[in-house]
Amino acid sequence: MPHMENIFEKVSSLAKRRGFIYPGSEIYGGLAGTWDYGPLGVELKRNLKEEFWKFAVKTRDNVVGIDAAIVMSPKVWEASGHLASFSDPLVECKKCHHRFRLDQLSDSSKCPDCGGELTEPKQFNLMVETYLGVVEGEKLKTYLRGEITQGVHVNFKNVLSSTRVKLPFGIAQVGKAFRNEITPGGFTFRSREFEQMEIQFYVKPEEEESMKWFEYWKEERRKWYLSLGMRGENLKFTDHEQLAHYARAACDIEYNAGGEFKEMEGIHHRGDWDLKQHEAYSKEDMTYFDEETKERFHPWTIETSGGVDRAALFFLMDAYREEETGDGESRTVLKLHPKLAPYKAAVFPLLANKPQLVELAKKIHDDLKGGYMIAWDERGNIGKRYRAQDEAGTPFCITVDFDSLEKNDVTVRDRDSMIQERIPIAELKSYLDAKLG
Tell me which residue has its CB nearest to ligand GAP.
Answer: 307
Minimum distance between the CB of residue 265 and ligand GAP, rounded to whole angstroms? 5
Please identify, using beta-carbon distances, which residue of 142 and 149 lies nearer to ligand GAP. 149
**From the list 307, 338, 342, 395, which residue makes contact with ligand GAP (rule: CB under 6 A)?**
307
Show the site string, 176-215: x = touches ligand GAP by CB under 6 A, - = not.
---x-x--------xx--x-x-------------------
Nearer to ligand GAP, 272 or 377 (CB): 272
Distance between terminal CA atoms of the chain? 30
Question: Which range binds ligand GAP by CB under 6 A, 159-167, 262-270, 317-325, 353-361?
Answer: 262-270
Nearest approach in angstroms of CB 64 to ligand GAP is 18
Residue 265 contacts ligand GAP per CB under 6 A: yes
Residues 6+ apart with CB under 8 A from 268: 244, 246, 247, 249, 250, 302, 303, 305
Instruction: Tell whether residue 41 is a contact of ligand GAP (CB under 6 A).
Output: no
Annotate 127-144 with b (16+ C-beta within 10 A) or e (fewer): bbeeeeeeeeeeeeebbb
Distances (CA, A) of 293 to 156, 169, 204, 285, 296: 20, 17, 12, 19, 9
β-bridge pairing 249-257 and 396-400: unpaired
Task: Name the minimum Å distance from CB 196 to ligand GAP.
Answer: 5
* Contacts of residue 419, Cβ cutoff 8 Å, sequence gap at least 6: 413
**Shortest reach from residue 287's CB to ligand GAP, in Å:** 22
Quick check: 349 binds ligand GAP (CB under 6 A)? no
Interface residue with ligand GAP, options 218, 278, 310, 344 (CB under 6 A): 310
Closer by beta carbon to ligand GAP, 31 or else 358: 31
Q: How far apart are CA 267 and CA 221, in angstroms?
A: 9
Task: State the nearest-atom distance from the C-beta of 95 to ligand GAP, in Å.
Answer: 28
Minimum distance of ligand GAP from residue 155's CB (angstroms): 15
Give the nearest distance from C-beta 250 to ligand GAP in angstroms. Answer: 8
Among the residue ranges 66-74, 257-265, 403-411, 419-427, the one whose residues contact ligand GAP (CB under 6 A): 257-265
Burial, 220: exposed, middle or buried (Cβ in 10 Å; 0-12, 13-18, 19+)? Answer: middle
Complex with ligand GAP: residue 149 or 399, whichever CB lies closer: 149
CB of 22 to ligand GAP, least distance (A): 16
The site for ligand GAP, by CB under 6 A, has a size of 18
Which of residues 111, 264, 333, 364 is near ligand GAP by CB under 6 A? 264
CB 124 to ligand GAP: min, Å:
14
Interface map 138-157 toward ligand GAP (x if CB under 6 A)? ---------x-x--------
User: Is residue 304 near ligand GAP by the rule CB under 6 A?
Assistant: no
| Residue 263 interacting with ligand GAP (CB under 6 A) | yes
Binding footprint of ligand GAP on the chain (CB under 6 A): 147, 149, 179, 181, 190-191, 194, 196, 263-266, 303, 305-307, 309-310
